[in-house]
């Protein structure tokens, strides 16, 4: 195999190898790993202060009496330290000293094999040597079977299939971060358990994924144990254990009441466009659903998942759609009702809750998950026009008379509020924007900035700002939202050529 140069092009006289040993069973070491250990002059390995090294025990049969051994003993593992730099400072100093010890051998022309459980560059201790030495010496990394692969093999279940996403998480993450990531992903492996296990288990439970989660301890090693994560005794969990969310494809998808009672309806907001606007909680609810119900245009934003049923319908049958979703839940199904933007802002949450308040559906659990609103999305693209008090109104007179809309426009204009105007126009409603403009001009300067946000976040996104007097109704459709500034809203051209719109948080008299 050709010699691999240091990253800066220089080559010391020795060679450095990061040798992946696999998950624990010596039989799972690669042929290349065995060859490198056999050829090495120096075998190095990390250990805790007790001196026992798992890496050395895996490779023990291949270590010769004439090997020079370098035991790199951590000064701390999980305990506290009085090092002036704290825990991180103590480790950084240790890594620098360990790398210097190995450099002595490399400068003497010796071949150094640093042993690493699993894969050397996958949460491995070797990587700290690699970062300090690979730019000075010829280096090769020998990949190894990871604990992730070993755990999936021991469980005997697919880890990921088709378009599923696998997320690998350290259990040391904050509990809320773990919860969010577990809710959002398809499959997952959480590593570094031990003392983190109680928080990890709570994160699985809070994300709704605990019933799916499996537990694997010391995969392929002596003392191996597998089981359900929910049934695992926290006091029995070692560091070398992982929590696994296997593939959902073809996996059992039990209803909350195991098919004997009502399921659940979750109304989710997909934001104004595609996946970039989904929250982790929404992603999790969509992935967990047995049925996805919604206006076909919004359903198209949701990934197709094997085993899920999709029920698309027209945009004008909200009550019927809500009743259909609740009927599915009454039969024990987990149902996600998809809504654009935020489901509680001129969207499906109201329709679902209205039907759910009927006697026939009062026992069915209903949750509403927020989404990014069209107003917030357009405002962010334009700058910060909603930086002060604002009113949100719909210009659609399909469900309320125009007289009510006009009265509310006058009230908001008189109060000098910024206005976010939803549903400004459509093919069947062409005059409302002009009427609203003329009404607002009775209270606002003709130079008042108006943001026109169309298809924000989508492939045909357009966000621009015009004077209120220049607002052309022919340029507005159902996919457009209007943000009308107050007397305090500023419209600025910056040095980079970009226009920004913002409303100060402080009024002049404050």
The whole-number pLDDT of residue 76 equals 76
State residue 427's pLDDT score. Answer: 73
Tens-place pLDDT, residues 108-118: 999 999 999 99
**pLDDT for 51:** 77
Is the dihedral angle over the CA atoms 189, 192, 197, 203 positive or is it negative?
Answer: negative
- The predicted model scores a pTM of 0.81
**pLDDT number for residue 510:** 62
CA distances from 175 to 170, 244, 287, 341 (A): 11, 17, 21, 28
How high is the pLDDT of residue 297?
85
Give the pLDDT confidence of 196-225 residue by residue, as tens digits: 999 999 999 999 899 999 999 999 999 999
pLDDT at 7: 46
- Max Cα–Cα distance, the chain, nearest Å: 95
Helical (H) or strand (E) element with 198: helix 197-206
Confirm if 431 and 473 have CB atoms less than 8 A apart.
Answer: yes
Q: What are the φ and ψ backbone dihedral angles of 60, each rounded to 5 degrees?
A: -55, -40
Which pLDDT score, from 0 to 100, does residue 52 have?
A: 86
pLDDT at 11: 57
Which residue numbers in the chain have pLDDT < 50?
1-8, 255-259
Q: Name, in order, each residue with C-beta under 8 angstroms of 254's C-beta and a sequence gap of 6 or more.
A: 211
360/467 Cα distance (integer angstroms): 51
């Amino acid at each position: 195999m050709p010699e691999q140069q240091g990253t800066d092009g220089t080559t010391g006289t020795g060679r450095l190898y990061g040798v992946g040993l696999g998950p624990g069973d010596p039989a799972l070491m690669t042929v290349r790993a065995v060859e490198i250990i056999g050829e090495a002059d120096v075998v190095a390995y990390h250990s805790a202060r007790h001196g026992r090294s798992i890496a050395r025990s895996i490779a023990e049969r291949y270590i010769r009496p004439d090997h020079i051994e370098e035991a790199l003993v951590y000064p701390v593992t999980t305990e506290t330290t009085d090092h002036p730099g704290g825990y991180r400072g103590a480790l950084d100093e240790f890594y620098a000293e360990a790398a210097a010890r190995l450099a002595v051998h490399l400068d003497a022309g010796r071949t150094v094999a640093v042993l690493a459980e699993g894969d050397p560059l996958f949460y491995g201790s070797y990587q700290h040597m690699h970062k300090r030495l690979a730019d000075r010496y010829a280096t090769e990394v020998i990949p190894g079977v990871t604990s992730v692969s070993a755990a999936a093999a021991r469980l005997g279940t697919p880890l990921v299939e088709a378009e599923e996403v696998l997320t690998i998480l350290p259990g040391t993450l904050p509990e809320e971060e773990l919860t969010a990531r577990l809710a959002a992903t398809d499959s997952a492996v959480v590593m570094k358990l031990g003392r983190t296990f109680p928080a990890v288990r709570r994160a699985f439970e809070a994300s709704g994924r605990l019933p799916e989660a499996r537990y694997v301890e010391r995969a392929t090693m002596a003392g191996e144990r597998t089981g359900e994560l929910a049934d695992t005794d926290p006091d029995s969990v070692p560091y070398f254990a992982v929590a696994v969310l296997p593939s959902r494809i073809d996996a059992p998808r039990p209803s909350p009441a195991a098919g004997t009672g009502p399921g659940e309806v979750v109304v989710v907001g997909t934001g104004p466009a595609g996946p970039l606007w989904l929250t982790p909680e929404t992603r999790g609810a969509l992935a967990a659903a047995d049925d996805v119900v919604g206006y076909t245009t919004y359903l198209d934003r949701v990934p197709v998942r094997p085993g899920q049923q999709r029920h698309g319908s027209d945009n004008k049958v909200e009550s019927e759609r809500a009743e259909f979703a609740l009927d599915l839940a009454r039969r024990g199904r987990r149902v996600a009702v998809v809504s654009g933007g935020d489901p509680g802002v001129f969207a499906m949450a109201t329709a679902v809750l209205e039907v759910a308040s009927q006697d026939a559906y009062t026992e069915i659990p209903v949750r509403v998950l927020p989404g990014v609103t069209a107003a917030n999305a357009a405002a962010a693209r334009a700058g910060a026009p909603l930086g002060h008090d604002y009113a949100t109104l719909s210009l659609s007179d399909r469900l309320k008379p125009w007289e009510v809309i006009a009265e509310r426009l006058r009230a908001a204009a008189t109060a000098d509020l910024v206005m976010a105007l939803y549903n400004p126009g459509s093919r069947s409603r062409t005059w409302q924007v002009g009427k609203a403009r003329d009404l607002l001009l009775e209270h606002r300067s003709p130079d008042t900035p108006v943001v026109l946000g169309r298809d924000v976040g989508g492939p045909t996104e357009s966000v621009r700002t015009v004077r209120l007097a220049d607002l052309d109704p022919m340029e507005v459709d159902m996919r457009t939202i209007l943000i009308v500034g107050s007397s305090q809203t500023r419209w600025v051209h910056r040095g980079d050529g970009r226009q920004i719109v913002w409303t100060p948080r402080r009024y002049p008299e404050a």
